[in-house]
């Protein structure tokens, strides 16, 4: 709220008492109903609506505006988030409609959902992009709040399932957290055990694109001091992972190593 004029109009407009004002605005998110009366009352646009709600029909209509481009480029639609599998019914309905139109569909998922959620999407997907944050369960819990047992169970179930598409394992490399030799060796060991669906491993550079979103939500960003890895570091780590013989190509950006 860096643009805030400290006028208190937002708090006065809030019908649920979620927004109070004592020298500066304070939000009770458990009371907020998402009516955005505060945003309408704010003359400085210090409070603003972030995101839009769409139904399946509206999304499909928007996607189909680029339908010709998809068919000529070989592209398609990727559901991302957040976690798309947390809204499995909605995601499955959307993917079903896209499949009817022959549009290639992928999902980005951290796999930290009940298997049934992911399974509901599989008949309509061409590719699953699965994030693996850390192979050590304690480190995974330290940095994400939960261990990785569900994640690893889901990726193994996916590999042995009837899913007809491809699986890409993605590792967002965070400097000093999961880019060490031991973690990458464990990634390679996991990959060697995935014998049916795994197509490749992608190493992705850590970025700070979520920092502003966290600030707007009033949430602490625990990795704010972490620096972004240079491209050379990602390429070197990809080369190391490839030397561990994961059994599939290792990609660094768009480069195969």
Is 210's pLDDT higher than 70?
A: no
Give the per-residue pLDDT at 217. Answer: 67
CA 141 to chain centre: 18
- Output the six-digit token pair for 50: 């972030």
Residues in the chain: 257
Every domain of the chain with CATH number 3.30.70.20 lies at: 1-49
Give the per-residue pLDDT at 40. Answer: 85
Tell me how far apart the alpha carbons of residues 114 and 85 are, in angstroms, rounded to a whole number.
9
pTM: 0.80
> Which residues fall within 8 angstroms of residue 198, CB to CB, at 6 or more apart?
159, 167, 168, 169, 191, 247, 248
- For the segment 41-54, the average pLDDT, to the nearest whole number, is 77
118-149 pLDDT tens trace: 999 999 999 999 999 999 999 999 988 999 99
Q: Give the percent of the chain with pLDDT over 70.
A: 93
> Which residues fall within 8 angstroms of residue 175, CB to CB, at 6 or more apart?
206, 226, 227, 229, 233
Q: Architecture of domain 56-256 in CATH?
A: Alpha-Beta Barrel (3.20)
Give the per-residue pLDDT at 189. Answer: 96
Is 47's pLDDT higher than 80?
A: no
Tokens 């999961």 identify what position?
178
Listed ranges 7-11, 87-91, 174-178; the one with the highest mean pLDDT: 87-91
Q: In what order do the strands lie in the sheet with 127-131?
A: 76-79, 104-109, 127-131, 166-173, 198-205, 250-252, 255-256
- Output the six-digit token pair for 116: 């049934």
Q: Are 205 and 234 in contact (CB under 8 A)?
A: yes
Q: Architecture of domain 1-49 in CATH?
A: 2-Layer Sandwich (3.30)
Tell me how far apart the alpha carbons of residues 38 and 40 are, in angstroms, rounded to a whole number.
5
Give 256's pLDDT tier (boundaries 50, 70, 90).
very low
Average of per-residue pLDDT values in the chain: 87
Tell me how far apart the alpha carbons of residues 243 and 226 are, in angstroms, rounded to a whole number.
27
Every domain of the chain with CATH number 3.20.20.70 lies at: 56-256
Judged by DSSP in three states, 214 sits in helix
């Amino acid at each position: 709220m860096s643009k805030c004029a400290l006028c208190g109009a937002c708090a006065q407009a809030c019908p649920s008492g979620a927004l109070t004002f004592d020298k500066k605005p304070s939000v009770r998110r458990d009371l907020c109903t998402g009516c955005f009366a505060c945003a309408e009352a704010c003359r400085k646009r210090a409070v603003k609506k972030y995101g839009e709600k769409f139904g399946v029909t509206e999304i499909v209509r928007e996607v189909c505006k680029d339908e010709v481009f998809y068919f000529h480029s070989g592209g398609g639609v990727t559901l991302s988030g957040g976690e798309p599998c947390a809204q499995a019914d909605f995601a499955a309905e959307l993917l079903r409609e896209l499949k009817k139109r022959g549009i290639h569909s992928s999902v980005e998922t951290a796999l930290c959902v009940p298997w049934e959620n992911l399974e509901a999407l599989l008949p309509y997907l061409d590719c699953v992009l699965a994030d693996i944050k850390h192979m050590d369960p304690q480190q995974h819990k330290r940095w994400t709040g939960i261990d990785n047992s569900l994640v690893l169970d889901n990726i193994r179930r996916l590999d042995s399932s009837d899913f007809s598409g491809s699986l890409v394992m993605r590792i967002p490399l965070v400097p000093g957290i999961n880019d060490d030799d031991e973690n990458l060796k464990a990634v390679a060991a996991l990959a060697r055990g995935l014998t049916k669906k795994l197509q490749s491993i992608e190493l992705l550079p850590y970025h700070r694109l979520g920092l502003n979103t966290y600030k707007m939500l009033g949430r602490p960003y625990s990795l704010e001091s972490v620096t972004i890895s240079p491209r050379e570091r990602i390429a070197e780590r990809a080369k190391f992972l490839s030397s561990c013989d994961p059994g599939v190509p290792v990609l660094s950006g768009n480069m195969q190593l």
